[in-house]
Structure 1
Amino acid sequence: MFFHPMDFLILIAFGISLWAQFRVKGTFNKWVEVPTRTGASGAEVARALLDRNGLSHIPIEVVRGTLSDHYDPIHGVVRLSEAVYYGRSISSISVAAHEIGHAIQHKEGYKALTLRHRMFPAVNIASGIAPFLLIGGFLFQALSLIGLGIIFFSVAVAFQLVTLPVEFNASSRARNLMIAEGFLYNDEENGVKKVLGAAALTYVAAALISLLELLKYVMIFMQGDDD
């Protein structure tokens, strides 16, 4: 009852997602061994980029975990993992600059980021409700529940799709900022591109899985409606 031809594509997408996660870790670990020619640490790059873009009021904090780096728009703080904060590698400055890219997006009111923030509360609710509606709809053969589940699940999918331009733009800003401020030499650009590209791939894979799942539910709903 639960198997659908789309499941095969979803499994492939899931495999891509796992590969993307291994790739981002592998790429980070590879370039974390390559020191920056400037000798700057992730924290130093982050601080300099914040200060030079009118964001000197934003603090930088150290957090535990691997690749746990993020910009918190609610509290206005950049949080970097220990490897990024203290590290003086290509990986460290790449990740740090990426998070500063998000901070600058926030300052400038980047539309995709603003939309993502506004969607967040609704996504939290929708993500919690959608699975129960879909499972209930399939168990009781209730198209109305499946339809509602699709609507709620669509919100989560839309959120992931909106996340893509936000992440790609932050990475683009990171490279341009580091070059403009003299933190990146020409022969280091390839490493930065690989680190940021591998990270972006995880978001693409996640969005692909969600989109395929949504299409699957829509097809099941339409087939049931025809019957």
Structure 2
Amino acid sequence: MATRNGLALCQGWSAASTSTALSTTVHKHFHSSVPTTQSKEDDNSPRLTHTDPETGKASMVSVTDKAPTHRTALAVSSIWLPGVAFDLLKRNGHKKGDVLTVAQIAGIQAAKQTSNLIPLCHPLLLTHVSVDLKLVEDSEVPPVGCNGLRGGRVDIESRVACMGNTGVEMEALTGATVAALTVFDMCKAVGKDMVIGEVKVMEKTGGKSGTYKHNQQGSERLGRGI
């Protein structure tokens, strides 16, 4: 009987040990699978503001509590044209009319319509929009993709300002881009080898982040093809 009791006791101890080990294993596994609380560094880490980090759903960022400030932005673009198209542009000889004036108006109009073109942009009451286009004789090797042709380029500057709760960088970029696209559209009949160059924000002011100026060091010259 003692032997049986000893065996039973041994079996009971073995079962208890197994149960304890299993409990410990499950306990450890349970804790390792639960996400830890985010640190302050995680909370302040860069993230996309237009998407919910948990669901991934897109939304227009709330700027309700942001104080209105004077905001400006300068964006640039360029378009390179082969010789025939560029010569006609200089002489204002294109059949569709005054290319530079039409492109200027198109850029201004586009800047005002940015929120209709880009889904999550805020509609803004712009207080100033200007788009300037400048012809540049280009004696350098044309951008990649122009088949070694000679020609010139149009440099484009788009300036936008407002008194608002969010910046106007997108409006400036849209103005510069659409102006370049308009030049392309009006000149494509005589110069399909055109190349639109890099589009970028050169400067912005106002808002929480303050003033930004593009660092030219290491970047390609304006007009170099993308």
Please say which structure displays the higher CA radius of gyration.
2
* TM class, shorter-length: under 0.3
Q: TM-score normalized by structure 2? A: 0.28
